[in-house]
Amino acid sequence: MSNEAVLQAESVLATHHDAHGEHHDHHHQETFISKYVFSMDHKMIAKQFLITGMVWAVIGGLMSVLFRLQLGYPDTSFPWLEDLLGKFWVEKGHITAQGYYALVTTHGTVLVFFVLTAGLSGTFANFLIPLQVGARDMASPFMNMLSYWFFFAASVVMVSSIFVETGPFSGGWTAYPPLSALGDASPGSKTGMDLWLVAMALFVVSSLLGGLNYIATVLNMRTKGMSMTRLPLTIWALFFTAVLGVLSFPVLLSGFILLIFDRNFGTSFYLSDIFLTTTNTALPNEGGSAILFQHLFWFLGHPEVYIILLPAMGMVSEILSVNSRKPIFGYMAMIGSLFAIAILAFLVWAHHMFVTGLNPFLGSIFVLLTLLIAVPSAIKVFNWLTTLWRGNIRFTPAMMFAIGFVSLFISGGLTGIWLGNSALDIHLHDTYFVIAHFHIVMGVASMFGMFAGVYHWYPKMYGRYLNTSLGYIHFWISIVGAYLIFWPMHYEGLAGMPRRYYDYSIWESFKNFGELNRFISTVAMIVFAAQLLFIANFFYSIWKGRKVTTLNPYGSNTLEWTTPINPGHGNWVGEIPEVHRWPYDYGKDGKEYTSQTTPVGADESHH
Amino acid sequence: MSSATLNETGKRIHPYKFLLWVAMGSICMMFAGLTSAYIVKRNQSNFLEFSLPLVFWYSTIVILASSLTIQLAVKSYKAREMSRYRTLMTITVILGVGFAALQTLGFMNLESHGIHLTGPKSNASASFILIIVGLHALHVLGGVVSLLVMFLKAYFSNTKNYSSVTIEVVSIYWHFVDVLWLYLLVFFIWIR
């Protein structure tokens, strides 16, 4: 008997006989509230995460358009923006300095945490783990529901911080003290920072609740025959993502707790006797170390970038294999490299701190460990390319985005080798080179992974297809746009142009980038418009998209395509299928694909 | 129904118990983060040295005793000795709350000796005690709350539940916060 049955038999709903699974829809008295709002169905929770993430992506993206407006057109006045946004953000037609910093900070926080962590792994871990391991739901559906609602609460608090009088937090998404610890230091460090901390604490709780569930489900709830080495790579990636989150988010929380005490209870963890010009006094605090926060922050912060990237890697591996009609190249190497990345993620945090006065000898160890990440990354890239090699490629929008991901990962990853060197970092630290690097390798690449996932699994989510033509337009504008936006930033960074500055036109050394900045800003607006196209496509297709008529439209091996076209809560009608082989038998023995549920024939060797 | 089930790989752990183990790993990481921060801070200048309040030893005895009572409670639950189970559980709850109260007493003790935990005159050394010990006490109170929730659920439920999974999960957590406290105590004694 599976653990599935244990949970079902023990629950109060034991009379529903979910474990036997006949006619789910007739058993549950589903109301609108229990089906769409406080749902415990992992598929509905996934959609909730996705749509909330999309709302955040629009807000965060719009913010980047606004600050790009300032960077690209520092001399142009936009009076209509003032009417729209109010005096805090725009004064005399120009984005205010305070507004600019608030925009940059909120853009970073929102995109890193609310979109690419909750929106990405929240969506696909919830949606794919039970479907692909063969479980009726998560280990604890209730905790899963709580996970979403903690995220929702975090979102509400974060949104409300945009509307307070002194504005949202404006000290950068990394929230380094003393700026973040001192309300007197900047308007954004007042109420905005309090709300930021509350929102982030709620967010950490949400991630932990989700992560615990993902790990427990992958390890405990797999269907019969689904050994760990028969798991699709999506599941492996989401599993390592959850492990990273569960081990690193608590450390971030402990850093935040100390920050809260410094802000509100006069302790001296991070604060020392700083002299503040705004109040003309020295702080009474003694002996605090601001660097301590950086250690605690980056101990999460670095795993966080892999929390963002690994789900995309996993989905891309699956999508590339399915649409090349070829087995994934080097399945075990793919798992091994995911594992290596997960381990190294915890050992490289100080490469964000090379210029904080870190001992250079210690720095050299972190250089070595950082550059070691190139090895598993290169293995993965090699395996993706060899999976594509001589494949019978179907260029679906999902496949386009997956290939786009590989392209972005290569070009963004290579600059990581530059930045990982502590000597080069002295020059490149906090310049646009860093912006270009992490936006390409982590930001845009993971967005591409997310788009690939949405295009690929949309038919399973809603029983309809997204419009393919709009998908191609979306892809080409996004990929070309992404390179046009971020490629020039490398040159700006190499020239020493620092990040986070409000106006470069007043700097003699960076004046000459005015035209380039305008170009980048213009492309950013076009790319943002293309994303709106995607969102229109998404919502239109939920109701009006072309209907899915076959169970397995892609000829895919994995278990989610053995469920009904519109699976109910419980996923499978009748018994959960048994698994007999790995998920990548494409083109084996002349057959285009062989589902995981097909028993191994007499003439086949075991997997 | 037994808490563990069999499949082709042999005995599997109950998903809720497994969830708890992962959660305990997560909690460990939070305290590992805080204690590492403590070590980093200690090696810098201006780190006040003082001895721990005596009350922390009494609270250690209390939490060890509560571990014993909850273990006996699980035993009597499995033997269906319900009145003994209820008595032991009540004692456990009282000991849990008592532990948190004693820790608070310890904080007040430090304050009364002029070692400020918060405020402008505080030293990070003392503030760390407040935060680490305080967070631990909150985790103990979390255990108390889950015991109470379990109690109330059993009280208001119409169906009899013979499964010992919930009580086992809570008791594992209870032992965990116990061991966590022992670690913290040893840590604070050694690294001062």
Residue with the bigger pLDDT between A318 and B5: it is A318
Q: Which residue of A has its CA nearest to B13?
A: A220
R_g over Cα of chain A: 25
Terminal Cα-to-Cα distance of chain B (whole angstroms):
50
Domain limits for position A488: 41-268+288-590
How far is Cα B189 from Cα A453, in angstroms, rounded to an integer?
Answer: 52
Q: Which residue of A has its CA nearest to B166?
A: A10
Across the A:B interface, residue pairs with CB atoms under 8 Å apart total 133
Contact call for B1 and A220, based on CB within 8 A = no
Domain membership flag for residue A15: no
Contact call for A287 and B46, based on CB within 8 A = yes
Domain membership flag for residue A374: yes
Domain membership flag for residue A524: yes
Q: A213 and A261 in contact (C-beta within 8 Å)? A: no
Domain limits for position B87: 5-190
| Tokens (6 digits) for A429 | 């630290």
Q: Is A356 on the interface with B (CB under 8 A)?
A: no
DSSP string, A75-140: T---HHHHHHH-TTTEETTEE-HHHHHHHHHHHHHIIIIIIIIIIIIIHHHHHHHHHHHT-SS-S-
Per-residue pLDDT, averaged over A223-246, amounts to 96
Buried b / exposed e across B116-132, counting CB within 10 Å, b at 16+? bbbeeebbbbbbbbbbb
DSSP A34: I
Supply angle C-alpha B93, B98, B102, rounded to 5.
155
Per-residue pLDDT, averaged over B80-88, amounts to 91
> pTM of the entire structure?
0.92
| pLDDT for the residue numbered B120 | 84
| pLDDT for the residue numbered A67 | 95
How far is Cα A55 from Cα A114, in angstroms, rounded to an integer?
Answer: 10
- A90, β-bridge pairs: A95
Band (A37; pLDDT cuts 50, 70, 90): confident
Residue with the bigger pLDDT between A438 and A24: it is A438
How far is Cα A115 from Cα A51, in angstroms, rounded to an integer?
Answer: 10
| Residue of A265, A281, A349 to mutate when probing chain B, most B C-beta within 10 A | A265
Per-residue pLDDT, averaged over A104-124, amounts to 96
Which uninterrupted H or E stretch holds A282? Answer: strand A281-282
Q: How far is CA A139 from CA A129, A135, A242, in A?
A: 11, 9, 14
Q: Taking CB atoms and an 8 Å cutoff, what residues of chain A touch B16?
A: 139-140
pLDDT at A25 over 90: no
Contact call for A261 and B118, based on CB within 8 A = yes
Q: Which of A436, A480, A457 has the alpha carbon at shortest distance from A556?
A: A457
Contact call for B27 and A250, based on CB within 8 A = yes
Q: How many beta carbons lie within 10 A of that of residue A281, not counting itself? A: 11
| pLDDT for the residue numbered A28 | 55
Helix (H, G, I), strand (E, B) or coil at A328: coil
Residues listed for chain A = 607
Band (A580; pLDDT cuts 50, 70, 90): very high
Q: Which of A517, A511, A450, A505 has the alpha carbon at shortest distance from A478?
A: A450
How far is Cα B39 from Cα A358, in angstroms, rounded to an integer?
Answer: 17
Contact call for B123 and A12, based on CB within 8 A = no
Nearest residue, CB atoms, B29 vs list A216, A219, A247:
A247
pLDDT at A17 over 50: no
Q: Is A215 on the interface with B (CB under 8 A)?
A: yes
Per-residue pLDDT, averaged over A109-114, amounts to 96
| Residue of A12, A212, A228 to mutate when probing chain B, most B C-beta within 10 A | A212
How far away is chain B from the Cα of A413, in angstroms, using its nearest Cα? 29
| Residue of B8, B18, B36 to mutate when probing chain A, most A C-beta within 10 A | B18
pLDDT per residue as tens digits for the range A303-323: 999 999 999 999 999 999 999
Band (B13; pLDDT cuts 50, 70, 90): confident
Long-range (24+ apart) CB contacts under 8 A made by A204-208 are A204/A249, A204/A250, A204/A252, A204/A253, A204/A256, A205/A150, A206/A118, A206/A146, A206/A147, A206/A148, A206/A150, A206/A151, A206/A154, A207/A117, A207/A118, A207/A147, A207/A245, A207/A249, A208/A245, A208/A246, A208/A249, A208/A250, A208/B23, A208/B26
| pLDDT for the residue numbered A21 | 40
DSSP string, A423-447: HHHHHHTTBHHHHHHHIIIIIIHHH
Residue A28 region, left (φ>0) first, then alpha (ψ -120 to 50), else beta?
A: beta
pLDDT per residue as tens digits for the range B141-152: 999 999 999 888
Q: What is the CATH number of the domain that holds A462?
A: 1.20.210.10
| pLDDT for the residue numbered A517 | 96
Domain membership flag for residue A606: no
Q: Which residue of A has its CA nearest to B153?
A: A12
| Tokens (6 digits) for A52 | 């909330």
Q: Which of A310, A178, A151, A177 has the alpha carbon at shortest distance from A239?
A: A310
pLDDT at A273 over 90: no
Q: A248 and B30 in contact (C-beta within 8 Å)? A: no
Q: What is the mean pLDDT of chain B?
A: 88
State how many domains chain B has.
1
| pLDDT for the residue numbered A471 | 97
R_g over Cα of chain B: 19
pLDDT at A402 over 70: yes
How far away is chain B from the Cα of A335, in angstroms, using its nearest Cα? 21
How far is Cα A117 from Cα A203, in angstroms, rounded to an integer?
Answer: 10
How far is Cα A149 from Cα A210, in angstroms, rounded to an integer?
Answer: 11
pLDDT per residue as tens digits for the range A363-383: 999 999 999 999 999 999 999
Band (A287; pLDDT cuts 50, 70, 90): confident
Share of chain A above pLDDT 90, in %: 85
Q: Taking CB atoms and an 8 Å cutoff, what residues of chain A touch B123?
A: 268, 286-287
Domain membership flag for residue A106: yes
Q: Taking CB atoms and an 8 Å cutoff, what residues of chain B touch A273?
A: none
Contact call for B22 and A266, based on CB within 8 A = no
Contact call for B1 and A6, based on CB within 8 A = yes
Residue carrying the six token digits 């020392």: A272
Q: How far is CA B57 from CA A446, B63, B91, B98, B116, in A?
A: 51, 10, 19, 13, 21
- Pairing assessment for the beta strands A90-91 and A94-95 based on DSSP bridges: antiparallel
| pLDDT for the residue numbered A12 | 38
Supply angle C-alpha A327, A598, A399, rounded to 5.
35
Nearest residue, CB atoms, B122 vs list A1, A216, A267:
A267
Q: Is A1 on the interface with B (CB under 8 A)?
A: yes
Nearest residue, CB atoms, A7 vs list B15, B27, B46:
B15
Per-residue pLDDT, averaged over A234-260, amounts to 96
| pLDDT for the residue numbered B46 | 80
pLDDT at B134 over 90: yes
Domain membership flag for residue A120: yes
How far away is chain A from the Cα of B153, in angstroms, using its nearest Cα? 11
Out of A31-35, A473-477, B62-66, least confident range? A31-35
Buried b / exposed e across A138-165, counting CB within 10 Å, b at 16+? bbbbebbbbbbbbbbbbbebbbebbebe
How far away is chain B from the Cα of A66, in angstroms, using its nearest Cα? 37
State how many domains chain A has.
1
| pLDDT for the residue numbered B8 | 39
Q: Taking CB atoms and an 8 Å cutoff, what residues of chain B touch A212?
A: 19, 22-23, 26
Q: A76 and A149 in contact (C-beta within 8 Å)? A: no
How far away is chain A from the Cα of B130, in angstroms, using its nearest Cα? 10
Contact call for B30 and A254, based on CB within 8 A = yes
Q: Is A287 on the interface with B (CB under 8 A)?
A: yes
Residue A93 region, left (φ>0) first, then alpha (ψ -120 to 50), else beta?
A: left
pLDDT at A284 over 70: yes
Domain membership flag for residue A248: yes
| pLDDT for the residue numbered A111 | 96
pLDDT per residue as tens digits for the range A515-556: 999 999 999 999 999 999 999 999 999 999 999 999 999 999
Nearest residue, CB atoms, B37 vs list A12, A265, A296:
A296
DSSP A504: G
pLDDT per residue as tens digits for the range A415-428: 999 999 999 999 99
Band (A29; pLDDT cuts 50, 70, 90): low
How far is Cα B106 from Cα B132, in angstroms, rounded to an integer?
Answer: 13
Q: Is A246 on the interface with B (CB under 8 A)?
A: yes
| pLDDT for the residue numbered A10 | 46
Helix (H, G, I), strand (E, B) or coil at A31: coil
Share of chain B above pLDDT 70, in %: 94
Buried b / exposed e across A508-518, counting CB within 10 Å, b at 16+? eebeebbebbb
Band (A128; pLDDT cuts 50, 70, 90): very high
Residue carrying the six token digits 């086992």: B168
Q: Taking CB atoms and an 8 Å cutoff, what residues of chain A touch B135?
A: 257
Q: What is the CATH number of the domain that holds B43?
A: 1.20.120.80
pLDDT at A26 over 70: no
Residues listed for chain B = 192
Q: B7 and A2 in contact (C-beta within 8 Å)? A: yes
Q: Which residue of B has its CA nearest to A271?
A: B124
Q: A104 and A172 in contact (C-beta within 8 Å)? A: yes
| pLDDT for the residue numbered A604 | 78
Per-residue pLDDT, averaged over A38-66, amounts to 96
Torsion from C-alpha of A330, A334, A340, A346, nearest 10 degrees: 170
Q: A237 and A315 in contact (C-beta within 8 Å)? A: yes
Contact call for A140 and B19, based on CB within 8 A = yes
How far away is chain B from the Cα of A545, in angstroms, using its nearest Cα? 39
Going along chain B, which residue ranges are E strands?
Answer: 5-7, 10-12
Q: How many beta carbons lie within 10 A of that of residue B166, not counting itself? A: 19
| pLDDT for the residue numbered A24 | 44
Q: Which of A193, A151, A138, A182 has the alpha carbon at shortest distance from A7?
A: A138
How far is Cα B23 from Cα A277, in angstroms, rounded to an integer?
Answer: 45
Q: Taking CB atoms and an 8 Å cutoff, what residues of chain B touch A287?
A: 44-47, 123-124
